Each structure stands twice: as C-alpha cells, then as structure tokens.
Amino acid sequence: MGADWPGFLQADPLPALQSQKGLALPDSALAYWVQRDLLGDLVPPIETLWEIPAAVLLVLKQQVNGSWHYPGKSYDPMIGTNYDLLETYRSLRILVEVYGFNRGHPAIQKAADYIFSCQTAEGDVRGILGNQYMPYYHGAMLELLIKAGYVDDPRIKLGLDWLLSTRQEDGGWIVPAQAVTAKEKTGSFWPGASLPPDRSKPSSHLAMGMVLRAFAPHPAYRQRAEVLASANLLKNRLFQADRYNDRKAPSYWLKFQFPFWWTNLLTALDTLFWLRFSRDDKEIARGLAWYQGHQSSDGLWETGYGSGKGAEGNRLWVGLAVCRMLKNYKESG
C-alpha cells in the first residue's frame, strides 16, 4: 500500500472486503478492485472482468438498438416516458463501474449511440421524464460515458455546455418539474412543452450532485469557474434537507448504493475530491469525520437500505467506494 490510509479510521475495513463475508458466492469483480485500488497490487488487464458470467449475461440482454428493456414496460405514449432509457442507464452503471467496460467493447459503443440518439438539438438527453428536462439523469449518463472513453466526443461537449447554460442564479441546478405542484403534473404535462427552469428558485442538491458527476471526470471542464462555484454550493449543503420534495429529508444523505445513483454524502465527497477540494476544507472534513465515527464492528458502513436481496453485496461495494474516497483524500495531502 502506498500510504497508511486505513489508519485514518478506527477499524480497518480491508479484512471485511477481502473476506467478502456474507456473500453466498465470491465476487471476483469486487476482489479485483480491492486488489488494484486499495492494496495497490498488480492485476490482470481490465478486459478479464468483461468475461465474468454476470457481465456476459447483462451484455446478452442488450437490444439491437443498444438499449436494455425495462421489465414490463418500454414506452408510455400517454406521458412520453422512455423506460428503456432508464434501464439503459441502470445497465450502463453496472458495466462501467462494476466490470470496467469501456468504448473498446461493442456493447458500450451501442449503448452510447442509443443514449446519444435521445439527445436533443439543445444538447440534453431526454425521455425518462417524458419531454421534460432531466439535468440530473442527463449528467449521470454523461459521467458514465466520459468514464467509458467518450471524453472527446462532440456530443459530450454539447451535453456539458447545455448543463452550464441551464444553471440557476445561485449557481446550481434544479429539475424544472420539481418546482411544479403535484396537481399540475397531469398526464398532459410530461409530454407537453419542456418547462424551462425558474432560475430565481434555489438549487436542488439532488440535481446538483448528479450533474456535477459529469464534470468531475472531464479534464477540460472540472476546473471551470462555473463548475467550482456549483461545487461550493453543494459542499455547503451537506447533511441539509433539500429544497424540494424529491428525497428531501436529511436522512437521504446517508443512504448509499453502488454503483452510484442518487446524491448522498459518498457521491458528493467523491465528486468534490475529483474537483480538487481538499480534506482541510471545513465542510469536507465534517463529511470525512462522519465516516470515521460511523463504522460497524467489521469496519464497513451501513447503507441505509436494510437487509433485503443484494443488501450485503451493496454494503461491500459501498465499502469499497468509501475506502477509495477516503484513500484519495488521505493521500492527496
């Protein structure tokens, strides 16, 4: 190991991650990332993960047009919801973050082309919310495509520039539909004309956190003044209630899942690290201290998602993600 980062914690989480206690079968992908990212061991080429049966099976479920089919649904003409786009996002998360897929694999090329086929002339990927803007899903999808090797694709630039053009006056983002009352969200609202954001309204940290994940892995955008201003706003919202009803309670900061989806303390701290914020920052230090003070007896962290199917696997993967984040901050000085 390049540093003594586990000493940053009260209990060493590595034994639990290496033993994978609680899993019925060993997770070779998890073991790979622990060896590579936490232990600093030499590992086989990333392509070996592409051959894991679960990854192969997921690729086989991809449709001819590059999407994955949402179970039981595809497209709802009444509200214009493209459920297959949502399922494609869900599948892309797993292929890129768990199995290390990149654009060298045909499945990623096909998935990228499908997602970009849902990109409008304005620059945003649209469809999960009907014809309404969805900067949070848009940002999360761009993050995955950038990580998969599409950093220089002009469609990525178009999508990132669109995000910068839709910021609120306070520097962050909202999902415009968040500002609409429930009674106004009729069947005709979703496929109707796209509602522009009311820029005078305060930003949503749910939206900000997912949007900023698109900028964090992009070397040409991560230090843009507008991005850093938004990141400061997110940093100062840690542990607070959101301004809108979606995942509003402060408790949502402490509900963790991997691969990442919604904004939480882990996704925020991870993003802020890649945007070059320091562990010496007061709010960052407060977030890191939470992980120091809330370990379970095995050194890992509770996810807030109970003990249902897949819960223990999620807990281990979240543990890996937390350790990566802590190690990054610890070794960055």
- Residue 179 inside a domain? The answer is yes
The pLDDT score that the predictor gives to residue 77 is 65
What is the three-class DSSP state of 275? coil
The pLDDT score that the predictor gives to residue 5 is 74
- Residue 117 inside a domain? The answer is yes
Domain encompassing residue 192: 45-242
- Residue 73 inside a domain? The answer is yes
Give the chain's mean pLDDT: 94
- Residue 139 inside a domain? The answer is yes
Contact partners, residue 160, CB within 8 Å, separation at least 6: 142, 214, 215, 218, 221
- Has residue 201 got a pLDDT over 70? yes
Name the more confident of 322 and 309: 322
The pLDDT score that the predictor gives to residue 309 is 79
The pLDDT score that the predictor gives to residue 188 is 87
As a whole number, mean pLDDT of residues 308-331 equals 94
The pLDDT score that the predictor gives to residue 144 is 98
The pLDDT score that the predictor gives to residue 85 is 97
- Residue 229 inside a domain? The answer is yes
- Residue 103 inside a domain? The answer is yes
Banded pLDDT at 1 (limits 50, 70, 90)? very low
Instruction: Report how far residue 318's alpha carbon sits from residue 322's, in angstroms, rounded to the nearest whole number.
Output: 6
pLDDT in tens, 256-304: 999 999 999 999 999 999 999 999 999 999 999 999 999 999 999 999 9
Neighbours of 186 (CB within 10 A): 10
CB 164 within 8 A of CB 224: yes
The pTM of this model reads: 0.95
Instruction: Report how far residue 333's alpha carbon sits from residue 327's, in angstroms, rounded to the nearest whole number.
Output: 10
- Has residue 3 got a pLDDT over 60? no
User: Percent of the chain at pLDDT above 90?
Assistant: 87
- Residue 4 inside a domain? The answer is no
The pLDDT score that the predictor gives to residue 78 is 66
What is the three-class DSSP state of 285? helix
The pLDDT score that the predictor gives to residue 24 is 87
pLDDT in tens, 67-112: 999 998 776 666 778 999 999 999 999 999 999 999 999 999 999 9
Ramachandran angles phi, psi of 42, nearest 5°: -70, 135
Neighbours of 113 (CB within 10 A): 13
What is the three-class DSSP state of 133? coil
- Residue 315 inside a domain? The answer is no
How many domains in the chain?
1
Closest by Cα among 128, 110, 126 to 63 = 110
- Has residue 2 got a pLDDT over 50? no
| CATH number assigned to the domain comprising residue 128 | 1.50.10.20
